[in-house]
Structure 1
Amino acid sequence: MKALAMTTLDAVGDLRLTGLTKRFGSFTAVDNLDLTIPQGSFFALLGASGCGKTTTLRMVSGLEDPTAGRIYIGDTEVTSTKPYKRPVNTVFQNYALFPHLNIYDNVAFGLRRRGVKDVKKQVEDMLALVELGHLAKRKPSQLSGGQQQRVAVGRALINQPQVLLLDEPLGALDLKLRRQMQIELKRIQVEVGLTFVHVTHDQEEAMTMADTIAVMNAGRIEQLGSPEELYENPATTFVANFLGQSNLVVGTTVAKGDVIAVEAHGHRLTLPGARCQAPSDAVIVGVRPEKVSLLPADAETPSDQNVLTGGVVTDASFIGVSTQYLVKMPWGQELSVFEQNMGKEIFRPGSAVSLTWDPSQTFGLDGRQDIEAGADIDDEAAK
């Protein structure tokens, strides 16, 4: 039954933004953005407050006029098209449901406004898609936040838009509901095969739901790719720090080829040449905290591993599935290590340790970048 809800949708092509720019006085919110969002994909615009992601979404929906650039859906330019005439619908964080209407009538509202007389089958199919048919007669105030958000999605989808825009749709939900809704939204997107464009500051949310993520910073796209690609092979220090956590250490290239050797604070580290994006000998060596293991300082270190010696544990936080360590290195930098709790010794603060990891898990970035870029952006600042 669910599959019937959107069978009348036709393939319409990609959403394309060319040279899209938005200025507010002297401030440039979106800076000459070129972006193609493939038809039928779940796409996320990820970034902190002020990065331009919501402004981009508002230009696509028609709620903001671009200063320059064009917007296309398939071969049709919609840059100057009135919002209500664009084949897009938006789901907001605050649901925007009609409190005096029951769930059935909320979902039916768009059809009735367009003059559709017989809405029964379409509404029932849409309620089945969002798994709320049994609550059709209830008012929004009688539903949980997650259920209300599904109503909002159903109300938007029933109008058969070519693109569904999601503006921080899960921000008002608590953690458990948010994770449930991540799964639900992805399921709905797969079933209807529609293009979803999701704006969020939540890295985990973007990685859980999206096929492709564009990490935005200061009105531009820092990097575009699959969640796995962005996490495993960040192209900039901003992406390495903003998308998850990274240990970044400044070094100098001393040997090049298929394997690159780097001298860093008296240690020799290696990484695959294909994972190094430094154009000069100045390089920032990176590794994710969960790729790193700790050994007692007096233990023999494996010869086939990257090793940093001289560390002292400054903090050990047991969080169930793993223990998260902060380790201060001789040059003053604190590095993070996340070790799964599999019966291994837990190091206490003050323990002298060495850090080891597989060289293949190392990445290299342009050493001229700010090593702290993106690291000081927290969830509160991003809302």
Structure 2
Amino acid sequence: MLPQDSGDLTLTSLTKRFGQFTAVDSLDLTIAQGSFFALLGPSGCGKTTTLRMVAGLEPPTHGEIRIGSRDITYDKAYRRPVNTVFQSYALFPHLSVWENVAFGLKRRRSAQVDKQVADVLELTELQALAGRKPAQLSGGQQQRVALARAIVNRPAVLLLDEPLGALDLKLRRQMQVELKRIQTEVGLTFVHVTHDQEEAMTMADTIAVMNAGRIEQLGAPADLYENPATTFAANFLGQSNLIRATVEQRQSDSVTVALPRGTVRVPAGRLPGGVDEVWVGVRPEKISVHGETVDGKTVGGKTGFGQTAHDGTGQPVAGLNRIEGAVVTDASFMGVSTQYLVRTPWDQQLMVFEQNRGNAGIHRPGDRVSLSFAAEHTFALDANQDSAAGIDLDGEAPG
């Protein structure tokens, strides 16, 4: 059963200024009913301020907030069909789990309180803990109680403000799976604010990457990761190697670009129009590292494509972009993968993640190597953008 006042959550020209500082800058956004949506960005980007405006905890300077056909822009917080789950669980310490979950229903004198509470405790797998007080629960259990207390009221939109931030890594990953399962079963609109890229990609159907009060890019997790539209998105959502390059030749399906040494190919559809100076991007896990010699034969020559490369098993792979004459400067074994820093002939450090398949040794610092990556895994961005945008942004002001 859908809650009252259900429908898409729509933000139109939503703006919030604090004096001369613009925290949220004319935001236009539609969040589909029943979806799991993530607002992702570094501290200070405006994501929490946006959430607080939707919750009714912060009045907008300008703009409109609607759920379905209902304008809630200036409704009091308690009148909105919205509930919020915070990082601090805000449970009543003197009440049991059952009483915490039932609290809002009893205040509204809802019918069938016992059944509604029983149903949501089953959904959140808290039946066996119904009689316990919050102090007797783990952090993950307390988070599920806070979630149950919000869900039982059947809001049109459930707002989640960094809800897993206080949990340790293992429990946080377990709760990511649980939150997605619960959202799928209950069918409510979840809007999740986080600075954690993995968290957003694990749970959300759609992600809005925010930067300086605006949406930098919007889309499905896989599309944002594989096809970043800006250097900020490329660097903030995962990690990217960005290499300065110049467009040399355009064909119908691919473009040849010149690196500081040699050339590589980029799919024509992944190159911004009307620019000749670009950042060529490739994700660290898309790159393979090859020893300078394989089976006693030197793998040499200049950077280029269409040459014969070798994968981790020593088998030839044709048609890969290649960078020759590189040197490993650091190798860190991570268990599932080895993380390399590799210095190119033009003295740029590139990062490589090589999966541990158990069939190849680890390259050591000082090893001379070549790098290869498929043209279809290569993207390009306008070189007028800052190549360092989106890197190391945590620890700024809240927002």
**1:376 alignment partner AA:** D
Which residue matches 1:15? 9
- Whether the 8 Å contact between 1:260 and 1:271 is mirrored in structure 2 is yes
- Whether the 8 Å contact between 2:4 and 2:81 is mirrored in structure 1 is no
Which residue matches 1:248? 242
- Whether the 8 Å contact between 2:266 and 2:378 is mirrored in structure 1 is yes
**Counterpart Cα distance in 2 of 1:113 and 1:196:** 24
**Counterpart Cα distance in 2 of 1:117 and 1:293:** 62
How many Å apart are 1:376 and its aligned residue? Answer: 2.5
Identify the range of structure 1 (141-150 vs 9-18) with the bigger mean alpha-carbon deviation: 9-18
Pick one of 62, 69, 75 that aligns with 1:68.
62
2:275 corresponds to 1:260: no
Pick one of 318, 338, 357 that aligns with 1:323.
338
1:317-351 CA-partner distances (Å, limit 9, x unpaired): 00111100000112221000111112212100001
**1:265 alignment partner AA:** P
**1:36 alignment partner AA:** T
Q: How does 1:18-57 map to 2 (within 5 A)?
A: 18-57=12-51
**Counterpart Cα distance in 1 of 2:360 and 2:177:** 33
1:88-147 CA-partner distances (Å, limit 9, x unpaired): 000000110000000000000000111236411111111011110111000011111011
- Whether the 8 Å contact between 1:278 and 1:367 is mirrored in structure 2 is no
- RMSD of aligned alpha carbons: 1.4
Pick one of 354, 369, 372 that aligns with 1:339.
354
- Whether the 8 Å contact between 1:278 and 1:364 is mirrored in structure 2 is no
Note the residue ranges of structure 1 that are not aligned, 5 or more in a row. Answer: 1-6
Pick one of 366, 370, 388 that aligns with 1:372.
388
Which residue matches 1:291? 286
The DSSP-based 3-state class of the residue aligned with 1:304 is strand
**Counterpart Cα distance in 1 of 2:217 and 2:264:** 26
Which residue matches 1:311? 326
Note the residue ranges of structure 2 that are not aligned, 5 or more in a row. Answer: 293-297, 301-307, 310-317
Aligned length: 376
**Counterpart Cα distance in 2 of 1:345 and 1:307:** 21
1:257-310 CA-partner distances (Å, limit 9, x unpaired): 320110011211101111122531011100000000011233264351101122
2:150 corresponds to 1:152: no
- Whether the 8 Å contact between 1:72 and 1:79 is mirrored in structure 2 is yes
**1:366 alignment partner AA:** D
2:376 corresponds to 1:360: yes
TM-score normalized by structure 1?
Answer: 0.96
Pick one of 175, 200, 210 that aligns with 2:169.
175
Identity %: 65
**Counterpart Cα distance in 1 of 2:11 and 2:36:** 16
Q: How does 1:207-286 map to 2 (within 5 A)?
A: 207-257=201-251, 258-286=253-281
- Whether the 8 Å contact between 2:341 and 2:352 is mirrored in structure 1 is yes
1:182-201 CA-partner distances (Å, limit 9, x unpaired): 01100000001110000000
2:189 corresponds to 1:195: yes
**2:371 alignment partner AA:** L
2:74 corresponds to 1:80: yes
- Whether the 8 Å contact between 1:316 and 1:349 is mirrored in structure 2 is yes
TM-score normalized by structure 2?
Answer: 0.92
The DSSP-based 3-state class of the residue aligned with 2:140 is helix
Which residue matches 2:159? 165
How many Å apart are 1:240 and its aligned residue? Answer: 0.5
Which residue matches 2:366? 350
The DSSP-based 3-state class of the residue aligned with 2:360 is coil
Q: 1:115 to 1:251 in 2, by over 3 A?
A: same
Pick one of 135, 141, 162 that aligns with 2:129.
135
Which residue matches 1:115? 109
The DSSP-based 3-state class of the residue aligned with 1:356 is strand
**Counterpart Cα distance in 2 of 1:8 and 1:38:** 14
1:71-90 CA-partner distances (Å, limit 9, x unpaired): 00001110011100000000
**Counterpart Cα distance in 2 of 1:18 and 1:148:** 35
How many Å apart are 1:11 and its aligned residue? Answer: 7.5
- Whether the 8 Å contact between 2:5 and 2:67 is mirrored in structure 1 is no
Identify the range of structure 1 (248-257 vs 200-209) with the bigger mean alpha-carbon deviation: 248-257
The DSSP-based 3-state class of the residue aligned with 2:390 is coil
**Counterpart Cα distance in 2 of 1:39 and 1:151:** 24
The DSSP-based 3-state class of the residue aligned with 1:224 is strand
**Counterpart Cα distance in 2 of 1:161 and 1:33:** 23
1:14-39 CA-partner distances (Å, limit 9, x unpaired): 00000000000110000000000000
The DSSP-based 3-state class of the residue aligned with 2:53 is helix
The DSSP-based 3-state class of the residue aligned with 2:153 is coil
- Whether the 8 Å contact between 1:16 and 1:71 is mirrored in structure 2 is yes
**Counterpart Cα distance in 2 of 1:171 and 1:338:** 27
1:344-363 CA-partner distances (Å, limit 9, x unpaired): 12100001111101111001
How many Å apart are 1:10 and its aligned residue? Answer: 5.5
- Whether the 8 Å contact between 2:12 and 2:26 is mirrored in structure 1 is yes
